[in-house]
Amino acid sequence: MNQPSKLKMRRNRFIFFMILPAILFPIIFTYYPMVKGAMMAFQSYNLMNVKNIKWIGLDNFRKLFAQNTSNNFYTTMFNTVKWVGISLSAQFLVGFSMALILKKKFKGSSLYQGLIFFPWAVSGFIIGIMWRWMFNGTSGVINDILMKMHLISQPVGWLASKNTALYSCIAANIWYGIPFFTIMITAALRGVSQDLYEAADVDGASPVQKFIHITVPCIRSVLLLTVLLRVIWIFNFPDLIYSMTQGGPAGSSHIITSYMMQLVQSLDYGLASAVGVLCILFLAMFAAIYLAATKYTDTEV
Amino acid sequence: MKKRQWTALLLTAVMLAGCGGGNTATGTSGASDGTTAAASEGAADTSAEVKADGEAITITLVESLTSPERTAVLREIADKYQAEHPNITIDIISPPLENADAKITQMLMNQSGADIVEVRDSTVTQYATNDWIADLQQYIDGWEEKGTLTESADEVIHYLSDGAYLIPYGFYQRGLFYRIDWFTEKGLDQPETWQDIYDAGIAITDPSSSRYGYSFRGGTSGYQYADTVYWSWIGMDQLAHPNAAYFLKDGNGATIFTLPEVKEALHFYKDLFKNTCPLDSIAWGFSEMVQGFVGGTTAMLIQDPEVIATCSADMQDDQWALVPFPKGPSGQAVSPNGFAGWGMTSFTAHPEETADFLLFLSNADNNTYFAKSYSTIPIHSTAAEKDVYFSEGRFAMYMQMAEDPDVYCHAAYPQMYEAFATYKTEVDMMYQKYLTDEISDDDLLQWLDEFWTQAYQNEGQKW
């Protein structure tokens, strides 16, 4: 009687120790910092005076939503919606189109694929600096080309005008994010069985019908996941804005995450943390609603 | 089954939201390093080896404004010291410039890993308030070289009234660079006042040929230039203290932003921007300003001595000239005297030896050599005698300015206030709103006045 239960105990202990790292690592490296960081949101945590840290409840959040001249938070939130919405749509459409082109392997397609992937491999900051000089009002390449094409008569200060600063950053972001969609969707498209298309040809389906009724449903789960990931990643991607405009001019190109970076530099960790908490709440809610609404978990392959 | 699905869903959502995603270079050098500072219990890079007294000692020095050339100079000076003191080893840690301050903050919070740190005008208040750097007064009292320190150096040593927290290694004094060839073309004289700059700017500005008068700094730290214009308009007499130049003398916290001269100066500043500067200079930072001048877009530039090297490299000698800072209607030319220096940590294991090396680094010979290599104003008045570099050539102009302290004065924004950290991140945006006509001059001045009146109420008089 003793033998089997001792064996079972040893086995259970073995399993426990094997699983332990998988439990400990997320707790130490993800959840503990998240909780500690979130706690800062409710404190007056300012690095200028670490002896003066105390609990202040929701004051940081109230500061964020206060209505005064120097508070840009509402503009920032609206900018974030524009940033994510426009970047995502453009990246998706262009990426999808390129994926359709790459669907069939042609001569040089692997080289072409490598070249398309190039923007994704470079750091966001460097890309930001590159685009910043391209958009430069006096010596930038973009003004030069547009003037030579007679589309504008005078150089435009792209990053200097409140009307165009954010959209210039969005343009750079679109260029940056296309490769990811292209690669993911190409891989998914290549996984669609040719038999389905042949059967559709037999029934006399047009290309558009084939696209809507075969292609899209088959890669639906990849599309949904890619879009969700990209929404979250674009939301969390302040690198371009930081290096192109630092959120200027006059705070017109700030998004929530670049604003948070600025707050960290001003050493007000409490306020920065409050912004961070709002980000996480929003993204978690968004992800939950998205997955439920698209019935992602019910998708059949 | 449903409940488990929802829990898994929610956990996934939270994890996805938590992770930053593929390419947000979490180096995000400059900012996010700070976010890990408080959360992590990071280990320091090297620790001062504590051995028995008289035995081998290691002193660790951490730089902030790192550059490979400067690190080499520091290494030279450290090697000299090591030769004279065989039992002491100097370790120099040089983090990359973008996140060096955050790294130093981390080390200071951990109370280990550094004996000497580079203290800047923007960080001295933070370090001193948190008791991270030590009072050096006792060591300075016994220093034989303290007699030759310049007045500016003395001011900086006692920047915070409750102690001597750093010994500066140099000053970043701005001067006026201008395109002497363009001026001669238009028959203009050397600009000596702000009004001269404006008039010359109007004469030179020609958008169709891409020529503008002045390199405007509308981006980060642009407010510093607006400040110099205010001070040059109102003069030094009304200022409470050169280091707290936003406040009025005997004003109990009243600010300069209520003076009519400041409003005038602000209008001048906006006119300068609108009529003599390229439109996108609203977002120009250091590199764009310099590029604008060196690249042939603007005719005038106000900047630090480090630009001398860039101009010499990229332009012909007869194309540009360096002249003293412009004066305002008050007859004075007032500019901030940016500084940085060396401080000793409060937790160092070897205060005597560390202070000794710190003073060695700051003595007349070493400091003059350092200042020459690094293009800063040295801290000893004997520098010009020690090296021709400081008495002739382009750099001599700065020494000339130093010899006329009634005209060429220094004033600075009140960096000793904790509120300054918040101010620094909001003020440039407010100026940009004013320059782009989003808010009025009264709005801006009111915001400035309220901000600093509030800071004075919260933190008291700190000069």
Looking at residues B118-146, what average pLDDT do you find?
Answer: 90
| pLDDT over 60 (residue B43) | no
Residue B215: φ, ψ to 5°: -85, 100
CB contact under 8 A, A267 and B279: no
Mutate to test the interface with B, among A48, A152, A161 (most CBs of B within 10 A): A48
- For A124, which of B17, B25, B37 is closest by C-beta distance? B25
Residues B125 and B271 in one domain: no
> Candidates 1.10.1040.10, 3.30.230.10, 1.10.3720.10, 3.30.420.10; correct CATH number of A68-298?
1.10.3720.10
The tally of domains found in chain B comes to 2
Domain that holds residue B113: 57-172+338-381
CA distance linking residue A277 with residue A41, whole number of Å: 7
Number of C-beta neighbours around residue B330 at 10 A? 17
CA distance B35 to A92: 32
Q: Does a structural domain hold residue B406?
A: no
* Residue B326 shares a structural domain with residue B451: yes
Query: B21 vs A237: CB contact, 8 Å cut-off?
Result: yes
Query: Measured on CA atoms in the order A208, A214, A218, A224, is the torsion positive or negative?
Result: positive
pLDDT at A3: 66
Mean pLDDT of chain A: 87
- Give the confidence band of B194 by pLDDT, cuts at 50, 70, 90: very high
Rounded CA separation A65/B48 (Å): 47
- Do B249 and B360 sit in the same domain of this protein? no
Look at the alpha carbons of B73, B79, B80, B85 in this order and tell me if their dihedral is positive or negative.
positive
Nearest-by-CA chain B residue for A180: B22
* Per-residue model confidence (pLDDT) at position A196: 85
Whether residue B41 has pLDDT greater than 60 = no
At what angle are helices B419-435 and B441-459 packed, to 10 degrees? 180
**Is B283–A261 a contact, with Cβ atoms under 8 angstroms apart?**
no
Three-state SS annotation for chain B: CHHHHHHHHHHHHHHHHHCCCCCCCCCCCCCHHHHHHHHCCCCCCCCCCCCCCCCCEEEEEECCCCCHHHHHHHHHHHHHHHHHCCCEEEEEECCCHHHHHHHHHHHHHHCCCCCEEEEECCCHHHHHHCCCECCCHHHHHCCCCHHHECHHHHHHHCCCCCCCCCEEEEEECCEEEEEHHHHHHHCCCCCCEHHHHHHHHHHHCEHHHCEEEECCCCCCCCHHHHHHHHHHHHCCCCECCHHHCCEECCCCCCEHHHCHHHHHHHHHHHHHHHHHCCHHHHHCCHHHHHHHHHCCCEEEEEECCCHHHHHHHHCCHHHEEEECCCECCCCCEEECCEEEEEEEECCCCCHHHHHHHHHHHCCHHHHHHHHHHHCCECCECCHHHHCHHHCCCCCHHHHHHHCCCCCEEECCCCCCCCHHHHHHHHHHHHHHHHHCCCCCHHHHHHHHHHHHHHHHHHHCCCC
The phi-psi region of residue A127 (left if phi > 0; otherwise alpha if psi is between -120 and 50; otherwise beta) is: alpha
pLDDT at A203: 85
**Phi-psi domain of B103 (left: phi exceeds 0; alpha: psi -120 through 50; beta: other):** alpha
Write down the domain spans for chain A. 68-298
CA gap B337, B320 in Å, rounded: 24
Residues B205, B307 within the same domain: yes
Q: Residues B108, B228: one domain?
A: no
- Does B215 score more than 90 pLDDT? yes
Task: Please determine, for residue B447, whether its predicted confidence score (pLDDT) is greater than 60.
Answer: yes
Q: Could you tell me if B101 and B35 are in contact, meaning their C-beta atoms sit under 8 angstroms apart?
A: no
Contacts with A283 from chain B: Cβ below 8 Å: 13, 16-17
Banded model confidence at residue A298, pLDDT cuts 50, 70, 90: low
Give the pLDDT of residue A2.
60
| Judgement on whether residues B369 and B243 belong to the same structural domain of the protein | no
Residue of B423, B361, B396 whose CA lies nearest to B224: B423
Same domain, B109 and B187: no
Question: Tell me, what's the pLDDT at A160?
Answer: 84
Residues B315 and B216 occupy one common structural domain? yes
The tokens for A217 are 């449903």
**Interchain pair A70, B447: CB under 8 A:** yes
Q: Tell me if B38 is assigned to some domain.
A: no
- The yes-or-no verdict on residue A299 having pLDDT over 60 is no
Nearest to A249 among B16, B292, B436 (CB): B436
If asked whether residues B351 and B229 sit together in one domain, one would say: no
Token pair of B200, please? 């010359």
pLDDT over threshold 80, residue B35? no
Q: What's the complex ipTM?
A: 0.76
B299 versus B463: which is more confidently predicted? B299
Read off the pTM: 0.79
Q: At A43, is the secondary structure helix, strand, or coil?
A: strand
- Nearest one of A287, A183, A281 to A232, comparing CA atoms: A287
Q: pLDDT tens, B77-104?
A: 999 999 999 999 999 999 887 778 888 9
CB B299 within 8 A of CB B213: yes
B391 or A7, greater pLDDT: A7
Closest CA to A187 of A218, A211, A158, A166: A218
The bridge status of strand B167-172 relative to strand B333-335 is: unpaired
- How distant is the Cα of B120 from the closest Cα of chain A, in angstroms? 14
Q: What is the CATH number of the domain that holds B432?
A: 3.40.190.10
Can you tell me whether residue A268 is helix, strand or coil? strand
Average pLDDT rounded to a whole number, residues A188-195: 85
Are B316 and B193 members of one domain?
Answer: yes
Check if the beta carbon of residue B373 is closer than 8 Å to that of residue B70: yes
CB contact under 8 Å between B280 and A159, yes or no, is yes
Q: What confidence tier does B451 reach under pLDDT thresholds 50, 70, 90?
A: very high
What are the tens digits of pLDDT across the range B323-340?
999 999 999 999 888 899
